[in-house]
Chain A
Amino acid sequence: MDTQALLQVDGVSIDYRTPQRVVRATHRVSFDVHAADRFVLLGASGCGKSTLLKSIAGFIPPTEGQIRLDGRSVTRPGPDRVVVFQEFDQLPPWKTVRENVAFPLLASRSVGRREAAERAALYLDKVGLSKFADVHPHQLSGGMKQRVAIARALAMQPQVLLMDEPFAALDALTRRRMQEELLALWDEFRFTLIFVTHSIEEALVVGNRIAILSPHPGRLRAELNSQFGLHSLGGVEFQATAQRIHRLLFDEPGAVAPGSVEADLRAGERLAGPAVIRPSGSPPFQIAV
């Protein structure tokens, strides 16, 4: 067992500010992510899992606690922690697929033009999009756009690959296929992955370690291991673990069931006094340019 974790999240609390009040999104969360982990952050909406991921990426500074990558404190976004977002508009539409994959390599000045082109070709091949290298993103389907985003992230060879519900906007069949491909890619490259999802099934399939967060504010409820793959879907053991996670998520003493109208109303009250429910997808905070 080698000693130090690659990424340490140490007592991290994150607040975000609305014009009226300060809201705690994440409260004193600690966990370790080791090299080649597939670490899943699982929780209902409002548990601060995306906020936590953005904080690891360096977009939002923690209010207390520290995030350390390789022992160094994370303070701002950087190419060593590449994020794959859920939204399809993360790809600059003015660049072709090939340029999109090579762009971060050139923008971060990590490699030269020639190697950027080589890496772009390699990783595009790995996600099966070599034929579409010279096409612009708007001509691709949602699943293909996410594949480009994954190829782009892998081409950077980041220390940690961060994925924020990357398959949530895809249809169920494409999502299943993408999970399979992500696992195949991991088998080949053994990158370190932090993956945010709200699907118990996806967490069990994608992750080898699952952190379960409770909502309002997000606190670490449990860390579980998972050795399931897509083939174990529906198996007895798989079902049992899914049940267990379900219980951890929903049967909190004295808490409101996540996802219920009551929970949304409470979240709204926390935000703006009278119930204002923010549209899902748009973060309640603004990131200054």
Chain B
Amino acid sequence: MTAPIVSTLAQAFDAAARVPPVRPEVEHVLPPLVGVAPVQPLPLGARVWQQTWLRRLVILAVLAVLWELVARWQDNDLLLPTFLQTARALVEGLASGELIDKTAISLSVLLKGYAAGILGAFVLTTLAVSTQLGRDLLSTLTAMFNPLPAIALLPLALLWFGLGQGSLVFVLVHSVLWPLALATYAGFQSVPEPLRMAGRNYGLTGIRYVLQILVPAALPAILSGLKIGWAFAWRTLIAAELVFGASSGKGGLGWYIFQNRNELYTDKVFAGLVMVILIGLLVEGLGFRTLERLTVQRWGQQR
């Protein structure tokens, strides 16, 4: 055991005196590569599994099977209808047109509130990046109103705007505006300095600067704000209809769920809930995913 230690020590001691040997120069002639493909395709199974929709479908199927099993084991239609019963109620509701009508009512209110909220958020954040006072206004308002649940404002809204779409749109705007404004402003702030200066270098100012530089550069943050806003809007709408019934005169999906719960049609309650989930999946999978693929992914801002 001692021998190697002694020899290392000796090496270390005369390390200063050592010089590497002079070796001759070498040149290699590289022949062209034959029979080695630098790029090889993935096996078929792996390629199929790369499809996002397929993996998601598998997850959904597993969840549905689990649901069916638990419901059968529970064996109580009133508390937990099986997946198949719910599917039947859903198909019947769609076929009779009742579910479609309710969904259309909900969606139209939702879109109005959503659009108004986006517009408000855009105005607020544009003010915030332009002026010091706008910045303070945005941070104060979001700090005040973001924690306030939209539902808590509904009684007030009903007082002010009466039973109708107005009060629903009001609370929807409230639920979309603040999270979206926060996300958008954070996105604006993280735009790299050279990009900002490049934009100003070409004489872009004011609204053109915001639209042509800040908004596209902050799009990843804005998109995530839009997703959050969309989810909040749905929650608020369904909750508003559940708590206050048909507050917009004609009831939407929340009203459908509320009514059927009162009449103990639990399978229809589940069908209503599934409808909300389906729309969520559809908007996420088709709407936002497509938007992301066409923009931030193509531009390399997001993987």
Interface residues of A (CB under 8 A from B): 54, 57, 59, 77-79, 81-83, 85-87, 89-94, 103-104, 107-109, 136-139, 156, 282-283, 287, 289
Name B105-146 residues within 8 Å CB distance of A.
129-130
Q: A136-B298, A136-B299, A289-B129 are in contact. Are A108 and B193 (CB under 8 A)?
A: no
Q: A82-B201, A90-B198, A107-B208 are in contact. Are A137 and B300 (CB under 8 A)?
A: yes
Residue of chain A at shortest CB distance from B196: A289
Complex CA distance for A93 and B298, rounded to whole angstroms: 9
Q: A78-B203, A79-B202, A287-B196 are in contact. Are A93 and B299 (CB under 8 A)?
A: yes
B195, B196, B203, B298, most chain A CB atoms within 10 A? B203
In angstroms, how far is the closest chain B Cβ from the Cβ of A69? 14
Question: A77 contacts B301, CB within 8 Å?
Answer: no
Complex CA distance for A131 and B198, rounded to whole angstroms: 24
Question: B194 contacts A89, CB within 8 Å?
Answer: yes
B-side contacts of A79, CB under 8 Å: 201-203
Complex CA distance for A136 and B299, rounded to whole angstroms: 6
Known A90-B195, A107-B212, A287-B197; further 19 A-B contacts with Cβ < 8 A: A54-B197, A57-B201, A77-B203, A78-B201, A79-B201, A79-B202, A81-B201, A83-B197, A85-B194, A90-B194, A94-B219, A94-B301, A103-B202, A107-B202, A107-B208, A108-B202, A136-B298, A139-B300, A156-B202
In angstroms, how far is the closest chain A Cβ from the Cβ of B213? 7
Q: A87-B194, A92-B217 are in contact. Are A108 and B200 (CB under 8 A)?
A: no
Q: B224 at the A/B interface (Cβ < 8 Å)? A: no
Complex CA distance for A103 and B204, rounded to whole angstroms: 11
In angstroms, how far is the closest chain A Cβ from the Cβ of B219? 7
Complex CA distance for A289 and B132, rounded to whole angstroms: 10
Complex CA distance for A82 and B214, rounded to whole angstroms: 20
A-side contacts of B194, CB under 8 Å: 85-87, 89-90
Complex CA distance for A81 and B202, rounded to whole angstroms: 9
A77, A78, A85, A94, most chain B CB atoms within 10 A? A94
Main SS class of interface, B: helix
In angstroms, how far is the closest chain A Cβ from the Cβ of B276? 33
Question: A85 contacts B216, CB within 8 Å?
Answer: no
Complex CA distance for A189 and B282, rounded to whole angstroms: 55
B-side contacts of A77, CB under 8 Å: 197, 200-201, 203
Q: B192 at the A/B interface (Cβ < 8 Å)? A: yes
Question: A59 contacts B208, CB within 8 Å?
Answer: no
Name B168-187 residues within 8 Å CB distance of A.
none
Residue of chain B at shortest CB distance from A103: B202
In angstroms, how far is the closest chain A Cβ from the Cβ of B206? 10
B-side contacts of A57, CB under 8 Å: 197, 201
In angstroms, how far is the closest chain B Cβ from the Cβ of A75? 13
Residue of chain B at shortest CB distance from A83: B201
A-side contacts of B209, CB under 8 Å: 289
Question: B195 contacts A107, CB within 8 Å?
Answer: no
Residue of chain A at shortest CB distance from B189: A289
In angstroms, how far is the closest chain A Cβ from the Cβ of B44? 28
Residue of chain A at shortest CB distance from B300: A138
Question: A85 contacts B198, CB within 8 Å?
Answer: yes
A-side contacts of B130, CB under 8 Å: 289
**Chain B 273-303, CB within 8 Å of chain A: the 1/0 string?**
0000000000000000000000100111100
Name B205-261 residues within 8 Å CB distance of A.
208-209, 212-214, 216-217, 219
Question: B300 contacts A93, CB within 8 Å?
Answer: yes
Complex CA distance for A109 and B205, rounded to whole angstroms: 13
Complex CA distance for A92 and B295, rounded to whole angstroms: 12
Question: B299 contacts A138, CB within 8 Å?
Answer: yes
A-side contacts of B219, CB under 8 Å: 94
B-side contacts of A92, CB under 8 Å: 195, 198-199, 213, 216-217
In angstroms, how far is the closest chain B Cβ from the Cβ of A286? 9
B-side contacts of A59, CB under 8 Å: 197, 200
B-side contacts of A156, CB under 8 Å: 202
Complex CA distance for A282 and B192, rounded to whole angstroms: 10
A-side contacts of B193, CB under 8 Å: 87, 282-283, 287
Complex CA distance for A91 and B213, rounded to whole angstroms: 10
Question: B192 contacts A87, CB within 8 Å?
Answer: yes
Residue of chain B at shortest CB distance from A289: B129
B-side contacts of A103, CB under 8 Å: 202
In angstroms, how far is the closest chain A Cβ from the Cβ of B186? 14
A77, A108, A282, most chain B CB atoms within 10 A? A77
B-side contacts of A137, CB under 8 Å: 300
